[in-house]
Structure 1
């Protein structure tokens, strides 16, 4: 581009051109090429690539196509601004939004279509910022209660499997060795990584045990964690202690106990001493609290 048009590219990418400047820029031979680059971003999903390397290749090809013509971007600051603007556009279209909940807290997330995801402690939810209406998909590590607005398929991806719905209320718990889905409204399709599939409706739940999906009935209208409590039935003590750590932001020293023993019972989230007694006393375990560390041993 001629030197008197150098500022136009950066200002155009930043939407800072006056109407007169925009008309002048559109008359340049290079405008169509730049316009195609930006418009093309609207039709592609995010690839895995090095943004800076990709930009360099794109601009090099653009220069090669201008046979015999030198495209000069001076002063240098405008070239830097233009490159940064293009990278910004790529990032805005392709980036993901991630929400991570700290230990001992909960978080409510409103998704782009008005659906909500209430995240339990120590959970992470990730989704694409753009093109949401065409691809309502989230990645979950942890536990969340979803209330999904009616629309295209809504998919929750976890390490153990995926859940698909149209519009409903359901809870997903996916933590290391645990994979559970409970439906409180509508219908939910659950598929494991081993291609096992179950469709559950309101009042039903499935859990993955010994690599098999098991369906059960539930009477509650929502997950207990939303009311600040956890309940376990014949669950290894390790998983109960893990949940205590998440809800109270503490760390257990467990070397002197057997974490494989089964526990049945529960605890509340609003009183640490009471929660520890509720879990440890029935298991004949003593505890000593030192700050955020809790040492366990048998009586």
Structure 2
């Protein structure tokens, strides 16, 4: 696949995991992602097409006058537009973006020595140039944070903002699930103007728009760091979706009640053992078919 084809598929969000890895190997990968992220904040002005057309046609009525002055003027205008565009791009925020694909994790060191471990199919972005003044990172997916002490540290997601000074915590934002678990220190979570402070062992969970209260669990770190996904009283659909992210397969569960509650875990290193860990407690059977898994009632 050519460079241009890779870039076009990337802009269309249509890259396969293999193509994404090839895209990341491009020499100008960082410049492309910075430009793409920066341009998201710009909107084209709304044009009044009818008014513009009337203005142009009215000026075209007198065509007898010489227009030799027009071409130089247009050249000057073009130079000004290009120069302004170059200036605006040069002054745009320099965003750093890191993404993971299916069945992949990645450890990222931030400028202040804080650490972020990304789970599969997740991404973070932050402004490295202004990091010392504003420690803020955007998250899509799931990540485990070890934050160095210092100024306020914000994790921004589509569902809420997590604020800390220096601590260890996990944030997961997937579709209709928003979860924050505090492992050390304290964590402030803001969701829909509601603010909650978590201490070690406490979890904040929003599922399908509703807040779910959970018993405290004294854990040192999320189990997925050790290649094991754990769930407590969550719908089976959340388990299946995580299984797909960890094993790069598609699960056919149309004949299964995905709303049934699941408590348990599965390993990331043995697909058959993982399937048994999911299906046996749920009283299901499974059938492997190339890159897909078919779930059936037992």
Aligned to 1:89: 90
Please say if 1:163 is aligned against 2:162: yes
User: Structure 1 residues 98, 240: closer, same or farther in 2, change over 3 A?
Assistant: same
Q: Alpha-carbon deviation of 1:46?
A: 9.1
List gaps (5 residues or longer) in structure 1. Answer: 1-44, 52-69
* SS of aligned partner of 2:205: strand
- CA deviations over 1:261-296 (Å, ceiling 9, x no partner): 222221111000110111113323222222211122
Partner-residue secondary structure (3-state), 1:218? coil
User: Which aligned pairs between 1:68-79 and structure 2 lie closer than 5 A?
Assistant: none
Q: Which residue of 2 aligns with 1:207?
A: 205
Equivalent runs, 1:17-56 vs 2, <5 Å:
48-49=41-42
Which residue number corresponds to residue 136 of structure 1? Answer: 135
Query: Pairwise mapping of residues 238-253 of structure 1 onto structure 2 (< 5 A)?
Result: 238-253=237-252
Alignment match, 1:115: 114
**Contact 1:147–1:170 at 8 Å: present in 2 too?**
yes
CA distance in structure 2 between the aligned counterparts of 1:213 and 1:160, rounded to whole angstroms = 15
d(CA) in 2 for partners of 1:102, 1:213: 29
Q: Is the 8 A contact 1:230 1:267 kept in 2?
A: yes
Contact preservation (8 Å) 1:104, 1:246: yes
Runs of 4+ aligned structure 1 residues displaced above 4 Å come to: 78-85
* Cα pair 1:115 1:148 within 8 Å, conserved: yes
Q: Does 1:127 align with 2:126?
A: yes
Indicate whether 1:146 and 2:145 are aligned: yes
Within-5 A mapping of 1:175-190: 175-190=174-189
Match of 1:217 in 2: 216
What TM-score results when the alignment is normalised by the length of structure 2?
Answer: 0.69
Cα root mean square deviation, aligned: 3.1
- Tell me how far apart the structure 2 counterparts of residues 47 and 280 of structure 1 sit (CA, whole Å): 42
Q: CA deviation at 1:129?
A: 3.1
Question: 2:200 touches 2:218 (CA, 8 Å); kept in 1?
Answer: no
Aligned mates of 1:177, 1:136 — CA distance in 2: 27
Q: 1:120 to 1:48 in 2, by over 3 A?
A: closer
The 3 A distance-change label for structure 1 pair 82 and 179 is closer
Counterpart of 1:198? Answer: 196
- Alignment partners' CA distance in 2, 1:247 and 1:130: 33
* C-alpha distance 251-147 of structure 1, shift in aligned 2 (>3 A): same
1:196–1:213 contact (8 Å) kept in structure 2: no
Cα distance between partner residues in 1 of 2:133 and 2:188 = 19
State the distance in 2 between where 1:176 and 1:217 align. 24
Counterpart contact for 1:287–1:296, Cα < 8 Å: yes
Instruction: Provide the residue aligned with 1:40 in structure 2.
Output: none
Query: CA–CA distance in 1 between the matches of 2:94 and 2:234?
Result: 39
2-structure distance, mates of 1:160, 1:285: 33
Contact in 2 for aligned 1:208/1:214 (Cα 8 Å): no
Q: Distance in 2 between matches of 1:102 and 1:148?
A: 24
CA distance in 1: counterparts of 2:100 and 2:226, whole angstroms:
17
- Which structure 2 segments of 5+ residues have no match? 1-37, 45-71
CA contact (8 A) 1:156 1:162 kept: yes
Deviation string for 1:67-103 (max 9, x for gaps)?
xxx9xx9xxxx9999778646523xx42422211111
Note closer, same or farther for the CA distance 1:47–1:245 as it changes in structure 2 (3 Å cut). closer
